[in-house]
Amino acid sequence: TRNGIDFAVADLGLAEYGRKEIRLAEHEMPGLMALRREYADVKPLKGARIAGSLHMTTQTAVLIETLTDLGAEVRWASCNIFSTQDHAAAAAVVGPYGTPEKPQGVPIFAWKGETLEEYWWCTEQILTWPNEPANMILDDGGDATLLVHKGTEFEKAGVVPPGEEDDPDEYKVVLGRLRASLAADASKWTKIGESILGVTEETTTGVNRLYQLAAQGELLFPAINVNDSVTKSKFDNKYGIRHSLIDGINRATDVMMGGKVAVVCGYGDVGKGSADSLVGQGARVIVTEIDPINALQAQMDGYEVAVLDNVIEKADVVITTTGNKDVVTFEHMKRMKHQAIVGNVGHFDNEIEMMALERSKEIKHVNIKPQVDEFIFPDGHSILVLSEGRLLNLGNATGHPSFVMSNSFSNQVIAQIELYGKNEEYDKEVYMLPKALDEKVAKVHVEALGGELTKLTKDQAEYIGVDVEGPYKPEHYRY
Residue 271 labelled as part of a binding site: yes
Selected binder of ligand NAI within 18, 52, 266, 389 (CB under 6 A): 266
Selected binder of ligand NAI within 204, 253, 371, 398 (CB under 6 A): 204
Which residue lies nearer to ligand NAI by CB, 205 or 410? 205
Question: Applying CB under 6 A, what is the total number of residues that bind ligand NAI?
Answer: 30
Residues 22-61 that bind ligand NAI (CB under 6 A): none
Selected binder of ligand NAI within 66, 203, 382, 402 (CB under 6 A): 203
Residue 267 labelled as part of a binding site: yes
> Measuring CA to CA, how many Å separate 331 from each of 75, 312, 348, 356?
42, 10, 20, 10
Residue 270 labelled as part of a binding site: yes
**Which x/- pattern, by CB under 6 A, does the window 302-331 give for ligand NAI?**
-------------------xxxx--x----
Residue 367 labelled as part of a binding site: no
Give CA–CA dist 382/375, Å, rounded: 5
Residue 20 labelled as part of a binding site: no
> Measuring CA to CA, how many Å separate 309 from each of 178, 263, 343, 374?
40, 11, 17, 22
DSSP 8-class letter at 9: -
Shortest Cβ 305–ligand NAI spacing (Å): 10
**391 scored as a contact of ligand NAI (CB under 6 A):** yes
**393 scored as a contact of ligand NAI (CB under 6 A):** yes
Give CA–CA dist 407/231, Å, rounded: 6
Residue 41 labelled as part of a binding site: no
Give CA–CA dist 31/156, Å, rounded: 42
Let me know if 141 is exposed, middle or buried by CB neighbors in 10 A (0-12, 13-18, 19+): buried
Amino acid at 204: T
In 61-112, the DSSP E strands lie at 73-77, 108-109
Residue 68 labelled as part of a binding site: no
Which residue lies nearer to ligand NAI by CB, 36 or 332? 332
Q: Can you tell me whether residue 219 is helix, strand or coil?
A: coil
106 and 91 in contact (C-beta within 8 Å)? no
Residue 427 labelled as part of a binding site: no
Report the chain's C-alpha Rg in angstroms. 22
Q: Can you tell me whether residue 378 is helix, strand or coil?
A: coil
Stretch that binds ligand NAI, among 4-12, 112-120, 264-272, 431-439 (CB under 6 A): 264-272
**346 scored as a contact of ligand NAI (CB under 6 A):** yes
Residue 237 labelled as part of a binding site: yes
Stretch that binds ligand NAI, among 62-70, 183-191, 231-239, 276-284 (CB under 6 A): 231-239
Cβ atoms within 10 Å, residue 165: 6
Shortest Cβ 400–ligand NAI spacing (Å): 6
DSSP helix, strand, coil percent of the chain (3-state; round to 5): 45, 15, 40
**237 scored as a contact of ligand NAI (CB under 6 A):** yes
Residue 202 labelled as part of a binding site: yes
End-to-end distance of the chain based on CA atoms, in angstroms?
Answer: 48
Residues 267-286 that bind ligand NAI (CB under 6 A): 267-271
Give CA–CA dist 44/67, Å, rounded: 10
Selected binder of ligand NAI within 231, 233, 411, 416 (CB under 6 A): 233
* Long-range contact set of residues 158-161: C-beta below 8 Å, sequence gap at least 24: 158/186
**133 scored as a contact of ligand NAI (CB under 6 A):** no
Give CA–CA dist 242/300, Å, rounded: 18
Give CA–CA dist 285/290, Å, rounded: 17
- The dihedral sign for the CA sequence 57, 59, 61, 64: negative
Closest residue to ligand NAI in the complex (CB): 268
| Residue whose C-alpha is closest to residue 408's, from 2, 63, 36 | 63
Shortest Cβ 402–ligand NAI spacing (Å): 14
246 and 277 in contact (C-beta within 8 Å)? yes
Selected binder of ligand NAI within 159, 256, 290, 468 (CB under 6 A): 290
Q: Can you tell me whether residue 110 is helix, strand or coil?
A: coil
Which residue lies nearer to ligand NAI by CB, 135 or 203? 203
Which residue lies nearer to ligand NAI by CB, 14 or 345? 345
Residue 273 labelled as part of a binding site: yes
**294 scored as a contact of ligand NAI (CB under 6 A):** yes
Binding site for ligand NAI (CB under 6 A): 203-205, 233, 236-237, 241, 265-271, 288-291, 294, 321-324, 327, 345-347, 391, 393, 400
- Residue ranges for the known binding site for NAD(+) are 203-205, 237, 266-273, 289, 294, 324, 393, 400
- Residue ranges for the known binding site are 57, 140, 202-205, 232, 236-237, 266-273, 289, 294, 324, 393, 400
- Residue ranges for the known binding site for substrate are 57, 140, 202, 232, 236
